[in-house]
Amino acid sequence: MQNKSKTVVLFDTTCRDGNQDPTVHLSAEEKRLVASWLDYMGVGYIELGWPGANPTDDELFENLPILQQAKMAAFGMTHKKGLSPETDNGFRRVAESPAAVICLFGKTWDKHVLTALHATPEENLDMIRNSVSWVKKQGKEMVFDAEHFFDGFKNNKAYALECLRSALEGGADWLVLCDTNGGSTPDEISEIVRETVREFPNARFGIHCHNDCEMAVANSFAAVKAGCSMVQGTINGIGERCGNANLTTLMGLLGKLGYDTGISPERLKELRDLSREMDALLGRKPNKSSAFVGDSAFAHKGGVHASAVKKDPALYEHTNPEFTGNRRSFPVSDQSGASNILMLLKSMGIEADGKNPQVKALVDSVKRRKQRGYTYREAEASLCVLALKKTGMMRDFFKVADFRITDEGKINGHEFVETSPSATVTIQFDGETVTKTASGQGPVHAFDKALRKALRHRFPVMNDVELDDFKVKILNPDKATGATTHVLVSMKNGKTGDRWTTVGVSQDIIVASLEALIDGYNYVLNIDRAPEPETTGFFRKTRLEMKARLAGRHHYRDPA
């Protein structure tokens, strides 16, 4: 139930502040896409960029996205020293942009005024007042970002507050208090916000936190509790340096606590989709530890935990994972017990008896394999295959009867010459034997290509399966070239976007790789866990539509 007495407005800065992340480079088209996602979710304000700052934002503001309910904001700074709002062309580009909301930042730390602006404190106050007033005369909603406010308050409280007073005198609709360096703590934020709100009881306040001390979310929530009714942040917390307040987490947190943020319960169930599609857009792997939306957010590895959750999830979960579109999982390891195995089997659609000796054998097998170097935290697909084998439920769609890998190396002087290894694989199906040969960029690649050729003969789904990642770890480096290798192979279904990872362990890196590959193909053939094609889902649908529009124009970052 939403708390109608407490409303928090969400102001997203992904397209502007998030784009300052060194690894993020959103095009105008991609910013329009992100804006459509946020509008769909119910975010109140979307800051698109800085008109006049770069060609991308110029292109964006020449053709703004069509949104259903969100207000679009243009970002900029107060007019420059020595100029006026009328004579500062850069300022006017922002103030006269087609956006209905203008967000201007101004200095509120006297050190910045003197060192960065080379202005007097009085000149800065006039710049704030005049800039805000000029924007209001254009009929715009005015959001004033008080840059470095908390550092300014701690250094010279009277002047920081005077900067806010100047913004209010100019007609500012919102005063957003910024922890720009990200160095404040929740107790400092809470105390300063309360004192500032008391100073200006009729003003509306917002909070803008950076994550340099890993406290941006905590600081933002502390500010809300202290009197701020607007929260600024970015999807998945992207931004320069250590990032911004993670708006994805704040949506989940505020929604869980009953705040009215404009995000309906139905839309909150799509929060994980929003987070995942943003990662896909940027070509990033999702953070498994992300609150509310990460794969590990509701993962119960310990046997005691899993047993308790089976009785009552509230014993080890602060909220229902479905609240934000997530799911509960039970990773199996040497710390696990029968409860984890049973819950794993149940997630596969298999009801098993905890007293079944096969289940106990599976638990013992997992613990023994752990001692040999197998880990299943990242390789749940291999665990599923092992569970099916040990419980007698494995369907042997194919068997690798024989394989041969050849590679002839050549040395030209002191340099190795690249070769093309060849692999021949013989597969047995029911009453049929198929042999295929393929060449690759390495022995594992060659084996994989030959195996695919053989499997496609029977299973058309293999045409959609692709290798997504390949990682090798040395378990005992003291053994040098005789060390045991741990191989993780990630695969994906290019049509549905489903992903799974398998593991192989051996002193022979090729054998370890082949074990993981074979597990991966056994998984996709045995476990019907791939989701339906997501083209009807809003987030994936809009991303695919944009991908089609951008085809041939520039590289699109899409790991799916």
Is 510 or 457 the better-scoring residue by pLDDT?
510
The reply to whether 405 and 444 lie within a common domain is yes
Cα dihedral: 220, 224, 229, 233 (round 10): 10
pLDDT band at 466 (very low <50, low <70, confident <90, very high): confident
Q: For position 327, what pLDDT does the model report?
A: 81
In a domain, 166, yes or no: yes
Contact 76, 91 (CB under 8 A): yes
Is residue 187 scored above 90 in pLDDT? yes
- DSSP character at residue 247: H
Outline where DSSP puts E strands in 234-341. 259-260
In a domain, 245, yes or no: yes
The reply to whether 256 and 344 lie within a common domain is no
In a domain, 62, yes or no: yes
Angle at 401 between CA 370 and CA 504, to 5 degrees: 20
Domain limit, last residue, from 318, 344, 377:
377
Q: For position 332, what pLDDT does the model report?
A: 63
At 438, list the tokens: 């393929």
Domain limit, last residue, from 458, 486, 504:
458
Is residue 554 scored above 50 in pLDDT? no
The reply to whether 184 and 254 lie within a common domain is yes
Q: For position 535, what pLDDT does the model report?
A: 42
Is residue 201 scored above 90 in pLDDT? yes
For range 494-504, the mean pLDDT: 82
Taking the alpha carbons at both ends of the chain, their separation in whole angstroms is 36
The reply to whether 178 and 118 lie within a common domain is yes
How far is 39 from 48, CA to CA, in rounded Å?
Answer: 12
Q: Lowest mean pLDDT: which of 4-8, 12-16, 177-181, 251-255?
A: 4-8
In a domain, 433, yes or no: yes
Contact 147, 112 (CB under 8 A): yes
Contact 201, 231 (CB under 8 A): no
pLDDT band at 473 (very low <50, low <70, confident <90, very high): confident
In a domain, 368, yes or no: yes
Counting the structural domains of the chain, the total is 3
The reply to whether 71 and 197 lie within a common domain is yes
Taking the CB of residue 229, how many other CB atoms lie within 10 A of it? 16
How far is 132 from 182, CA to CA, in rounded Å?
Answer: 26
For range 259-274, the mean pLDDT: 96
pLDDT band at 394 (very low <50, low <70, confident <90, very high): confident
In a domain, 492, yes or no: no
In a domain, 290, yes or no: no
The reply to whether 259 and 312 lie within a common domain is no
In a domain, 282, yes or no: no
Q: For position 80, what pLDDT does the model report?
A: 96
344: domain range? 303-377
At 101, list the tokens: 């909301």
The reply to whether 368 and 230 lie within a common domain is no
Q: For position 348, what pLDDT does the model report?
A: 59
The reply to whether 69 and 157 lie within a common domain is yes
CATH number for 122: 3.20.20.70
CATH number for 423: 3.30.160.740
Is residue 533 scored above 60 in pLDDT? no
Q: For position 305, what pLDDT does the model report?
A: 67
DSSP letters spanning 196-210: HHHHSTTS-EEEEEB
The reply to whether 218 and 262 lie within a common domain is yes
Q: Lowest mean pLDDT: which of 117-131, 229-243, 445-459, 523-537?
A: 523-537
- Tell me phi and psi for residue 542, to 5 degrees: -65, -35
**Residue 204: closest CA among 239, 177, 232, 238:** 177
How far is 232 from 215, CA to CA, in rounded Å?
Answer: 14
Q: For position 353, what pLDDT does the model report?
A: 67
The reply to whether 369 and 419 lie within a common domain is no
Is residue 7 scored above 50 in pLDDT? yes
Contact 333, 365 (CB under 8 A): no
Q: For position 553, what pLDDT does the model report?
A: 46
Taking the CB of residue 490, how many other CB atoms lie within 10 A of it? 20
Q: Taking all residues of the chain, what is their mean pLDDT, rounded to a whole number?
A: 87
Is residue 412 scored above 60 in pLDDT? yes
Contact 163, 128 (CB under 8 A): yes
The reply to whether 76 and 175 lie within a common domain is yes
Q: For position 534, what pLDDT does the model report?
A: 41
Domain limit, last residue, from 325, 348, 377:
377
How far is 188 from 104, CA to CA, in rounded Å?
Answer: 25
Q: For position 341, what pLDDT does the model report?
A: 67
The reply to whether 257 and 403 lie within a common domain is no
DSSP letters spanning 117-165: S---HHHHHHHHHHHHHHHHHTT-EEEEEEETHHHHHHH-HHHHHHHHH
Q: For position 530, what pLDDT does the model report?
A: 40
Q: Is 458 exposed, middle or buried (0-12, 13-18, 19+ CB in 10 A)?
A: middle
Q: For position 295, what pLDDT does the model report?
A: 83
